A and B are shown apart, each in its own frame.
Chain A
């Protein structure tokens, strides 16, 4: 017998709420199949089971919050014998008298509210309204029977969306003003504070705003812990992107528009390959020792529309082609924004890449997501004067940074990593 337990879906998750079972007792499950949906502060996550077998019984009802590690269901493994029947309702020795043919009593059959597996409980009209208003139905709190979403719930979500946003802007990990070029990491500049904690709102929040607030709290806890426990040091490198962009331009000309690759994908691939050369950065800090990971699963920080941040992983990033990587990235972004990420994506990144995007500033020095040991930041692509063979020429460059955990690595190895990223981006056709 194996227990399916409440998983930890993030370093600082202590409890989760079982939102829905997607398998029923008696059903066969295979390792890796999605068995349930768990609701955390950050997202509703599909959770896989790690045992193959037959679901014996559920131990926890949907809607219950339990600590991480609590058994949620019992799975009978393939070759195990069936569990002895618990006090089986044996037929009573005295036969029950047959029910007399009673006059047919007027019975109104109770209308069961059956949440069909994995279907969102929402009235057709509310679903239509959500679509019209551009509200993600999954994120709406339902007040109908069984938690069914009604029109008024969608209307409330729309109203909350219109309300002035809660204090924190959707900031990626705190940006530290970059040290002057060549300043030693020891002279770590004072960390710019994350947006100031919002005063608790006076009025009760709508369901959507509640979720947002909960996500902010989760991010706040995680980032604070990171800064408390991890001795960060920072390296920066300005990377000449002219070859990469020229090659990409040619590539994209050949491809149909739906197959075009973004330059961000090149950077993620370069990071993944560079990790093969400096593998101690592809590891996690487990309490008091470094645990190296064999798989390179790069987490990509994705900002959510309307606020919030998640950083799910692309598995085996170093083994994917650019097309596969672009595809995976696009799929992750849309699922992250729809709130349907899988648990393995949430808990297995081995390193994170954050990018400030097109309209940001030149560099970003991220805060490491524990238990990872590094985070790579890419600033905005800009045109800058560049010296090439004694000449000053305009050149597209990007500022790449590495924030690393000084318990597990040092400046020498960290700089080898960044240098590798730079070198890889000079040969884009090899990515």
Chain B
């Protein structure tokens, strides 16, 4: 998958969890939780949605260190076969 495709999937998962997210103003390089009202349940649902869309199992330890969409996409890029 290309980086754009991964980004699209990730953003799709994000809007499933936080439907009010305005993708026009949302910054993929800034902290996700700073921009959206996401609690621990939403965070887990987001992780599950990413897992379902991209079939990558992200361990909790790694997930806790990913703060922006860009970081997440880069991490996923390394885990998904091209």
Q: Classify A-B as touching or not with yes or no (CB < 8 A).
A: yes
By a beta-carbon cutoff of 8 Å, the part of chain A in contact with chain B is 134, 161, 249, 252-253, 256-258, 260, 262-264, 303, 305-306, 329-330, 333, 357-359
CA distance A161 to B21 in the complex (A): 12
With known contacts A257-B58, A260-B60, A359–B41 Cβ distance under 8 A:
no
Contact B20 A359 (CB under 8 A): no
Q: Report the minimal beta-carbon distance from A183 to chain B, rounded to whole angstroms.
A: 31
CB distance B44 to A262 under 8 Å?
A: yes
- Residues on the A chain within 8 Å of B18, using CB: 305
- What residues on A are CB-neighbors of B59 within 8 Å? 253
Residue B20 contacts which of A303, A305, A358 (CB distance < 8 angstroms)?
Answer: A305
B39 at the interface (CB under 8 A from A): yes
Q: For residue A329, which residue of chain B has the nearest CB?
A: B41
- Cα of A134 to Cα of B48 in the assembled complex, Å: 20
Besides the known contacts A161-B20, A260-B44, 20 further A-B residue pairs in the complex with CB atoms under 8 A apart: A134-B15, A249-B60, A249-B61, A253-B59, A253-B60, A256-B57, A258-B48, A260-B60, A262-B41, A262-B44, A263-B40, A305-B18, A305-B19, A305-B20, A306-B20, A357-B39, A357-B40, A358-B33, A358-B40, A358-B43
Q: What are 9 sample pairs from A and B whose C-beta atoms fall under 8 A apart? A: A134-B19, A253-B60, A256-B57, A257-B58, A260-B60, A263-B40, A303-B39, A305-B20, A357-B39
Check B41–A330 contact: CB distance below 8 A: yes
Interface size bucket, B side? Answer: 20 to 34
Q: Which of B33, B40, B48 contacts A262 (CB under 8 A)?
A: B40
- Specify which of B19, B20, B51 is in contact with A257 (CB 8 Å cutoff): B51
* B61 nearest CB neighbor, chain A only: A249
* Residue of B18, B20, B45, B57 ringed by the most chain A CB atoms within 10 A: B20
Whether B33 contacts A359 by the Cβ 8 Å rule is: yes
- A161 CA / B41 CA spacing, docked (Å): 23
Q: Which residues of A have CB within 8 Å of B4?
A: none
Contact with A along B36-62 (1 / 0, CB 8 A): 010111011101100100000111110
**Which of A252, A303, A357: most chain B Cβ within 10 A?**
A357
- In whole angstroms, how far apart are the Cα atoms of A134 and B57 in the complex? 27
Distance in angstroms from A246 CB to nearest chain B CB is 12
The 3 closest A-B pairs by CB, nearest first: A134-B19, A257-B51, A357-B39
Which residues of chain A come closer than 8 Å to B58, judged between CB atoms?
A: 257
Docked Cα-Cα span, A303 to B59, in Å, equals 27
User: Which residues of B lie under 8 Å from residue A306 when comparing CB positions?
Assistant: 20
Interface centre among A253, A258, A303 (most CB of B within 10 A): A258
- Chain A residues with CB under 8 Å of B51's CB are 257-258
The distance from the CB of B23 to the nearest CB of chain A, in whole angstroms, is 11
Residue of A nearest to B21 (CB): A134
A4 to B20, CA, bound (A): 39
